[in-house]
Each structure stands twice: as structure tokens, then as C-alpha cells.
Amino acid sequence: VEQALHKIAELMRLGFGEAGAHIIKENMRLGDRVEVNSEMKGKVVHAIYGFCDIRNFTDCTEVLQGDVVNLVNEVAAIVHECVVDNLGAPNKNIGDAFLLVWKPKGSHGITEVAESALRSYVRIIIEISRCKKLDRWARRKEIQTRIPGFRLRMGFGLHYGWAIEGAIGSLHKIDASYLSPHVNMASRLESATKQFGVSVLLSEDVWALLSPEIQDLCRKVDRVTLKGSSKPMKLFTYDVPETVLRGGTLEDDVDLRCAHSLHQFFTTVVPPSTETGFRNLWQFAIDGYLGGPEGRTADWVMSRKLLVSLLEQRQDDGPALNLLAVMKKLAGPDGRHPDNWPGYRVLEDK
């Protein structure tokens, strides 16, 4: 009986996750009442919300059929471990996507939590790229026939704000989760990574929580309004390096589990793939594109020249290619910014 109770408790922990601890605790106080109280009031929490998604998942599902479950679980094992190791908690597994949450707690301040969340993402990307099991799935003949050159990749969005944490559902099915436009924003940022040609997009709310040293390692890639919000938001990315096996400079056997400080991790162990000089020149290009808070100092002609120069250094740089495409679409016949340019744009895609 005792073993059965322990197993039930472990299954409840796995099913409800960290967000469900409060729900379980409150329901235990109900005494002899058998049913779960689905009308408990939620509580407001301030946290960092992450949303990540497996790319080309529909194609993988149609090709692998039932075997796709094994692929998803292999990815989940990497995602969950990296998040838990970095002060976070997996909240929901949604088919090919994962909702993740980082909350300040104990002696861990918000800056440490924010940088740990970013470190989670960097580690997931590298671990997936060098996972032999996932590589074998990706190399299967039927997948390569359908998507030549396919490699398993993911997109990642990260946003900070408030949410209501609570029991969502009914007496028939309850999930412990979060309700908030800020959670939705993390999902929209993940979706937008495809447009920007990057793996990771951070909102300026998350970027503002990072230490100045780590902020300098990120790149501002645009200022936009997203669906569900009229407030312009700056977007940032971290240029995650590829391993030598994948054509990059990061050692294939780099140990990402060592107890490196966050500063050491980002500056020494896994520094961005872009050099300081590249990022400095990029800053001039993005400033020329945005033109300040109201777009009054925009200089798209200069920005375009700088972006072309940057592409000579990184031919497939997603943010540079994206900005050139945006300016080509919005510029006047003379290549200048529109007269009514406000210093941001509406992100048309979700």
C-alpha cells in the first residue's frame, strides 16, 4: 500500500508539475471530500514564459506515423532536463510544442532566473544538434526523401509578465497551467523566429532583466507590434553557435552541464557565434532602420549598405536578410523610409 501511494504521488507530480503543487496542497485540505475542487481561485504570478516548437513536425508525423511519439519524447527529455537544471519547470507538452516557466524563488533573483532561462534555450539547441538518436531519426530515408537535408530544429520564444496560475478545466479533466496574454506572447515570439531566421527570440521585457554584460551579447533585430498588443516591442536574439560537426566553431564535446557561472557560460563556454565587431556594426544598421523611438532619424539607405556589408561576413544571416526584405517592401522609389515611418512595424505573421 505504501509503495502504491508513493507511485500515485509521483504520477501526480509528473501530471500536475510545479504549477500543480499548490492545487494538490489546497485539495488535501478538503478532508474527506472526494472530488477535486475545480473552482479554486487562481493566483497572480510574475514569471518568464517560454514556448518552443519542433520545426517541420507535420511532415515528421506523416512520415513516421506512430514512431513520431518516440521522437517527441526524445526531444522532451532534452528540453525538460535543460529547463529543470536551469531553475525552470516544464508546464505543458502540447504535441510538438512545450510551455516552460521560470519563476523567481528563494535566493534566485530575477536576473539570475532570466539568464538561466536563456541558458536553457542555448543548451537545448546544442544538445539537440549533437543527439545521435535524433540524428538517426532525421537521417531516415523516408524523411530525407520528403525534406532533403532535414535536420531536427526548434524555435524558441521567451517573454516576461504576469499570469494567473491555477487549475484549468472541470471535474472530468484538470490541468495546472497559466492564463495570460504574456503566455500567448511567448508563443507568438516562437512563431516569429521563422520570419527572422533565428532559433531564439526574446522580448525586450526579458532582455531588460539580463545583466548588462549578457545584454551586450544579444542582438536587437526589430521593433514591432504583435497580434494581441498595440504596444511596440523590441525583439532580441542570441546567436547560438554551431558545433564543429555542424560546420561551426563550438567544440563537439563541450560540457554544458558543468557548474559554470552564468557569466562564464555566455562569455567563455558558449559565446555567440557573431563577433563583437559584427554586433557593433549591426547596431548601427538596426539604429538606421528604426530611427529612434519615433522613427525620425531613420536612414534606410545607410542601413541597407551596412546590412549588405554584414551579409558579406555571414551570407545566411537571418536578421539581416529579413530587414532587407522589410525595407524593400516598405521603402519608397528612392529607397528611403516612408514619410510616416513610426520607428516600428506591425508583424504581419503570427
Whole-structure pTM value? 0.89
Phi and psi based region of residue 179 (left: phi greater than 0; alpha: psi -120 to 50; beta: remaining): beta
Within 8 A by CB and 6+ apart from 109, the residues are none
CA proximity to 200, closest of 247, 240, 246: 240
Q: How many residues does this entry show for the chain? A: 350
pLDDT at 12 over 70: no
Neighbours of 198 (CB within 10 A): 23
Residue type, 214: I
- Interior angle at CA 150, CA 245 and CA 147, nearest 5: 160
Q: What is the mean pLDDT of residues 178-199?
A: 95
Q: Which residues pair with 176 in a beta bridge?
A: 167
Reported confidence tier of residue 127, pLDDT bands at 50, 70, 90:
very high
- pLDDT digits 0-9 by tens, 254-269: 999 877 899 999 999 9
Cα first-last separation, the chain? 51
pLDDT at 62 over 80: yes
Q: What average pLDDT does the chain have?
A: 90
Q: Number of helices (H) and strands (E), helices first, in the chain?
A: 14, 9
Reported confidence tier of residue 90, pLDDT bands at 50, 70, 90:
very high
- pLDDT digits 0-9 by tens, 138-183: 999 999 999 999 999 999 999 999 999 988 877 777 778 898 999 9
Q: What's the Cα-to-Cα distance from 54 to each of 152, 199, 342, rounded to whole Å?
A: 7, 11, 34
Please give the radius of gyration of the chain, using alpha carbons only, rounded to the nearest integer: 22
Percent of the chain scoring above 90 in pLDDT: 78
Q: How far is 90 from 106, CA to CA, in rounded Å?
A: 19
Give helix 110-129 / helix 68-84 axis angle, nearest 10°. 150
